[in-house]
Structure 1
Amino acid sequence: MSLGNCHIVMFNYYSGINSSDLSSPIKLGEGTFGEVFRVSYKGEIVALKVIPVGGTKMINGDKQKSFRDISAELIVSKELSDLKYIEEGYSTQGFIHLRGAMVVKGSYPRSLINAWEQYDERMKSENDHPCVFNSNQHFLLLAFEDGGIDLEKYMISNVFQAYSIIYQVLVALSVAEYRLSFEHRDLHCGNILIRSVQSDNAVKANYNGYEVSVPTHGVEVKIIDFTLSRMSK
């Protein structure tokens, strides 16, 4: 199954993604439905979301999502990525860009386990240790661009940056609502990533046929995590 540039290889194996491909992982965060790691994949830094899917084992106190359920997050992620293209006079780059996706089968790779344990030592993870997964477990891997650090941890320098962050979020959501009837349904500071850019940069969008230019004042916003999101396109 292919969704544009997003290729899904069913029933592939983790052993096919070796340490030379997924190198130097760092766990960034976690949620009930999965883990997120920053990895170097084929020379590019990406945020890799690892979601167990289709199994009968309870994970983090909840049932695993079915393949049908998880496909919704994948489709939403791809549609939001494509909002960068102008359609009906609307566009935005305010949502994290999906680089690729794959369904894999097998136990967690050692490199990701090590990164998970290092995170646990620092932050005390609330999730089950990944060693609970056996060799028959399937996962959906979603590789996103590296959008920076979340707003909960980012140190805002001045009121102009605060204004820009709010403005960028509003523009992105407005475009997504018009184009996709999109509802995030879990938008909080942990799901807003901030990346430092040149202070004179501007974020471009299109709304109702007009170009919108938002001064960044040194901060660029990317909205993430579409686990609970929905759209009606």
Structure 2
Amino acid sequence: MKQINYINCSNYIRLVGAKVISEKYLRVSEEDKDDPLDGEKEKEEEKIPKLVLLLTKGGEEFENFMIKSKDELISIVIQVAATMAMGEEMLELEHRDAHVSNILIEKTNEEDLEYYIGGKKIIVKSNKILIKMIDFGKSRIRNGTELVYCDDWDIESNEPNETEEHGDLHYKIYPRMNEIIGGNWKNYFPETNVLWIRYLIQILSRFDGSGLASEDPGTQAFQKAEESNKKQLAPEDGKEVAEKFFDAIKNCKTAGEFVFQLYEDSYFHYILKKV
């Protein structure tokens, strides 16, 4: 993960330090607190080496963040795409697991965010929001001659080692990635980043690529807002933005291509500009 620190982009979480330990650790899972066997599990887990990572502060998960305006939605999606695009250029980086719990969000006083993509300086209006990409456990990264990637997949059957019982939208992305990759997780396939951007557009706008309301239940924040009638992104705004995004991304093979497609559309010029 240390290679991520070399990307000159404030949207990537930074690694401060790392250590392998074989000791007790603080259990924070709500699922375990009432488990009568929890004590025995803890004793067994003492024997298992654990990798402890010290990271910079990143904010809260997208899962728990309620988008209230189309400007917020547009800025968030463009930030994610531009962040991925910089990773593509510098490290041939594919995140491969960019669901809403692996992207954090925090408030920022920076009005404009800068990105360098394809030799061009790109400015994105933040709308007081800064996203942070985290969890590169399934990612594919190249740094010079060094190549790091996750091979946690059943290559023979071309199926990911993910249970198919989950109904969340992001579990549908893994087999779609494998259709592109064909079981070869070592090579560079930046189109996987495009799949995750499409996923993000759908889950945050609540509309799919056909212009229909998404069947996915949405983020936890969205579900809670529905139950309590709290303010949220207006459906007509979500649909409008989703249509624009999906039209721009339909032929893209990389996150960088998507960013430049957005730049060509005057609809996004008040948030995205090229210097």
Residue 142 of structure 2 aligns with an amino acid whose one-letter code is: S
The corresponding residue for 2:118 is: 208
Mapped partners of 1:182, 1:210: distance in 2? 19
User: Are positions 1:150 and 2:61 aligned together?
Assistant: yes
Paired residues, number = 140
Per-residue CA deviations over 1:20-64 (Å, capped at 9, x if unaligned) read: xxxxxxxxxxxxxxxxxxxxxxxxxxxxxxxxxxxxxxxxxxxxx
RMSD: 2.5
- CA shift, 1:181, in A, is 1.1
Q: 5 Å matches for 1:106-117?
A: 106-108=23-25, 112-113=26-27, 116=28
The corresponding residue for 2:142 is: 232
Aligned residue for 1:94, secondary structure, equals coil
- CA shift, 1:209, in A, is 3.2
* Conserved 8 A contact 2:112-2:123: yes
Q: Which has the higher helix share?
A: 2
Structure 1 pair 121–141 and aligned structure 2 pair: CA distance change class (3 A): closer
The corresponding residue for 1:172 is: 83
* Conserved 8 A contact 2:62-2:103: yes
The corresponding residue for 1:94 is: 11
Which stretches in structure 1 are left out of the alignment for 5+ residues? 1-76, 85-91
Residue 145 of structure 1 aligns with an amino acid whose one-letter code is: T
- CA shift, 1:232, in A, is 2.9
* Conserved 8 A contact 1:93-1:205: no
Aligned residue for 2:116, secondary structure, equals strand
The corresponding residue for 1:223 is: 133
The corresponding residue for 1:48 is: none
- CA shift, 1:107, in A, is 2.2
Q: TM-score, with normalisation over the residues of structure 2?
A: 0.46
* Conserved 8 A contact 1:107-1:133: no
Q: Identity rate of aligned residues, in percent?
A: 28
- CA shift, 1:134, in A, is 4.9
Larger Rg: 2
User: Are positions 1:161 and 2:72 aligned together?
Assistant: yes
* Conserved 8 A contact 2:93-2:142: yes
Q: Which has the higher strand share?
A: 1
Q: Which one of 139, 150, 161 corresponds to residue 50 of structure 2?
A: 139
Residue 125 of structure 2 aligns with an amino acid whose one-letter code is: P
